[in-house]
Structure 1
Amino acid sequence: MFGTSSSKQEKESSIKLVRGCPCYKVFGDEKLCVNDDSVLEIDAIEIDPSIFSFHYDKDSMEEERASDGNVCYASIYINYLDNKVYCISQGWVLRIHRQDVPGKDLEDAMQFLSTKEISSSAEICSECLYKFILTLGDTFAGALTEKEKTDEVKRYVDKFSLMIAVKHSQTDEMMEPIGTEDDIEKGVDHFQFLRNYLVQLLDQQNFWNRLSQELREEDAKEWIQNLVSMRERLARLEFQFYSQALQLRDIIEFNMLIKMLQYILKSSDEIIELNEAIHSEIRSDKFCQLTERDDRLDTLAGYAEKSRTIEHNFGNILQILTKL
Structure 2
Amino acid sequence: MKVGSSLMASMDDDDKGLVKGCPCYKEFGKDQVCVNNDDVQPVSTIIVDPTFFPADSVEDLEEFKSDNESMCYLLIYLDDTSDTAYCVSQGKRIKINNRPVRASDIREALQFVTATEKAGSGVICSTCLYKYLVTMGDVFEDLLNETERAKVISEYIQKIAAKMAVDMTNATEEQMADKESYNQHLKEYIKQLINIRSEWSSLIFLYQKKDTNQDLLDLMEQYRTLSRLEGIFLFQVLTLRDATDELVALGLLRFMIEVAEKVVKVIDDIRDGHLKIQPLKKIPTDIKEMLKEENSRRMTIEQRFTNVLKVLSQVDVGA
Same structural fold, with TM-score higher than 0.5 when normalized by the shorter chain: yes
TM normalised by structure 1 equals 0.79
Residue in structure 2 matched with residue 250 of structure 1 by the alignment? 243
Residue in structure 2 matched with residue 23 of structure 1 by the alignment? 24
Aligned residues: 303
Aligned partner letter, 2:153 = V
CA separation of 1:164 and 1:62: change in aligned 2, threshold 3 A: farther
How far did residue 136 of structure 1 move?
Answer: 1.1
Percent identity at matched positions?
Answer: 24
Aligned partner letter, 1:229 = E
How far did residue 120 of structure 1 move?
Answer: 4.3
In the alignment, the residues of structure 2 paired with residue 45 and residue 56 of structure 1 have an alpha-carbon distance, to the nearest angstrom, of: 22
In the alignment, the residues of structure 2 paired with residue 39 and residue 267 of structure 1 have an alpha-carbon distance, to the nearest angstrom, of: 44
> What are the Cα deviations for residues 295-315 of structure 1, in whole angstroms up to 9, with x where unaligned?
332222312232122112213
Residue in structure 1 matched with residue 35 of structure 2 by the alignment? 34
8 Å contact 2:23–2:130 — kept in the other structure? yes
Instruction: Please say if 1:301 is aligned against 2:303.
Output: no
Alignment of 1:57-76 (within 5 A): 57-76=57-76
How far did residue 128 of structure 1 move?
Answer: 1.1
Instruction: Please say if 1:89 is aligned against 2:89.
Output: yes
Residue in structure 2 matched with residue 241 of structure 1 by the alignment? 233
Aligned partner letter, 1:312 = N
Instruction: Please say if 1:226 is aligned against 2:215.
Output: no
In the alignment, the residues of structure 2 paired with residue 273 and residue 196 of structure 1 have an alpha-carbon distance, to the nearest angstrom, of: 27
How far did residue 48 of structure 1 move?
Answer: 5.0
Residue in structure 2 matched with residue 160 of structure 1 by the alignment? 160
> What are the Cα deviations for residues 128-167 of structure 1, in whole angstroms up to 9, with x where unaligned?
1111111111111121233321221111111112222223
SS of structure 2 residue aligned to 1:26: strand
Aligned partner letter, 1:199 = E
Alignment of 1:1-324 (within 5 A): 2-7=9-14, 13=16, 15=17, 17-47=18-48, 49=50, 51-52=51-52, 55-115=55-115, 116-117=118-119, 119-121=121-123, 124-169=124-169, 177-180=170-173, 188-189=177-178, 192-193=181-182, 195-218=184-207, 219=210, 220-248=212-240, 249-252=242-245, 254=247, 256-282=248-274, 286=278, 294-302=288-296, 303-321=298-316
In the alignment, the residues of structure 2 paired with residue 259 and residue 212 of structure 1 have an alpha-carbon distance, to the nearest angstrom, of: 31
TM normalised by structure 2 equals 0.81
How far did residue 43 of structure 1 move?
Answer: 0.7
8 Å contact 1:2–1:118 — kept in the other structure? no
> What are the Cα deviations for residues 226-245 of structure 1, in whole angstroms up to 9, with x where unaligned?
32332333333233234334
In the alignment, the residues of structure 2 paired with residue 317 and residue 301 of structure 1 have an alpha-carbon distance, to the nearest angstrom, of: 25
In the alignment, the residues of structure 1 paired with residue 147 and residue 180 of structure 2 have an alpha-carbon distance, to the nearest angstrom, of: 23
Aligned partner letter, 2:260 = S
CA separation of 1:298 and 1:42: change in aligned 2, threshold 3 A: same
8 Å contact 1:269–1:318 — kept in the other structure? no
Q: How large is the Cα RMSD of the aligned pairs?
A: 3.1
CA separation of 1:68 and 1:271: change in aligned 2, threshold 3 A: same
How far did residue 268 of structure 1 move?
Answer: 2.7
In the alignment, the residues of structure 1 paired with residue 57 and residue 277 of structure 2 have an alpha-carbon distance, to the nearest angstrom, of: 46
SS of structure 2 residue aligned to 1:196: helix
